[in-house]
Amino acid sequence: MTIERQFDMNNIPERVKYRGRVFGRNRRAEIKGVPPTKGWPIECIASGVHADQAQELRDHFKRNGLNIEVTKDGNPVYKTNKEQRRALRCRGMVNKSSFY
């Protein structure tokens, strides 16, 4: 059984009593992180083009040696962060929200 409690950072007990039972602190459960693969693949609307230009974007990626799917709406679908960086670089763009 798992229980969840919130405490101040400076006042976290190692043990908590709940309904007559004593539970120990689980430090691994406190670590928050996102696996690097979470959220991929993504359909990127921001780097998309008009639906009429979707084929041109597919051809552009192919000419530059990239195998990136482009939806019928003109949005590229990136499978990994690395693939996204390469695709944006070949178009002269950058992702300002990325950590690279």
Residue 38: the pLDDT is 67
**Is the distance from CB of 58 to CB of 72 less than 8 angstroms?**
no
Rounded CA separation 85/78 (Å): 9
Confidence label for 35 from pLDDT (cuts 50, 70 and 90):
low
Residue 97 domain-assigned (yes or no): no
Q: Mean pLDDT across the stretch 27-44?
A: 74
Q: What share of the chain is helix, strand, coil (3-state, %, to 5)?
A: 25, 15, 60
User: How many domains does the chain fold into?
Assistant: 1
Q: Residue holding tokens 């039972």? A: 21
**Is the distance from CB of 41 to CB of 65 less than 8 angstroms?**
no
Residue 22 domain-assigned (yes or no): no
User: What is the residue-averaged pLDDT of the chain?
Assistant: 88
Domain extent, residue 50, equals 42-90
Residue 7 domain-assigned (yes or no): no
**For residue range 63-97, what is the model confidence (pLDDT) as tens digits?**
999 999 999 999 999 999 899 999 999 999 988 87
Residue 3 domain-assigned (yes or no): no
Q: Residue holding tokens 């101040």? A: 8
